[in-house]
């Protein structure tokens, strides 16, 4: 009889048990919610990103905006240069915890038709985002 050494399978080998923090990507730059749409678009262009994490004056995450959303706001007939990010956030309060499983996060992202789902810590600070693969 020969003794065979085996290594235990890592807990995150099964994708359903992986946590959100293991599957997330960088959220993008954090900006203040009093930033104008034009400045936010310029920040995105400079950072070569398609999304920004929006925070309040206390650095607490209040939402996430995408280039597509900002371009639609800028191109609307109601747009003025006084429109701030806080004015357009809408229902971007969706987020998940770093310990949420990937399966749960994917279900939430698909059921709420979100392009990305921010991952935030207990204090509400943005850690990254989960994006559905295409």
* pLDDT in single tens digits along all 134 residues of the chain: 333 333 444 544 555 566 665 655 556 688 999 999 999 999 999 999 888 888 888 887 777 888 888 998 899 888 998 999 988 886 555 677 777 787 887 777 777 666 667 777 776 666 666 766 65
Largest Cα separation within the chain, whole Å, is 80
Domains of the chain: 16-131 (3.10.580.10)
The alpha carbon torsion through 70, 76, 81, 87 (nearest 10 deg) reads: -60
pTM reported for the whole predicted model? 0.58
Distance between CA 87 and CA 74 in Å, rounded? 12
């Amino acid at each position: 009889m020969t003794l065979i050494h085996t290594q235990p399978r890592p807990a995150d080998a099964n994708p359903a048990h992986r946590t959100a923090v293991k599957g997330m990507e960088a959220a993008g730059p954090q900006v203040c919610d009093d930033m104008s749409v034009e400045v936010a678009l310029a920040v995105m262009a400079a950072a070569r990103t398609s999304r920004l994490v929006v925070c309040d004056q206390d650095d607490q995450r209040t939402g996430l905006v995408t280039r597509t959303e900002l371009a639609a706001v800028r191109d609307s007939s109601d747009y003025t240069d006084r429109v701030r990010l806080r004015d357009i956030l809408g229902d971007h309060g969706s987020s998940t915890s770093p310990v949420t499983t990937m399966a749960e996060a994917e279900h939430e992202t698909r059921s709420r038709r979100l392009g990305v789902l921010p991952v935030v810590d207990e204090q509400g600070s943005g850690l990254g985002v989960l994006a559905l693969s295409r």
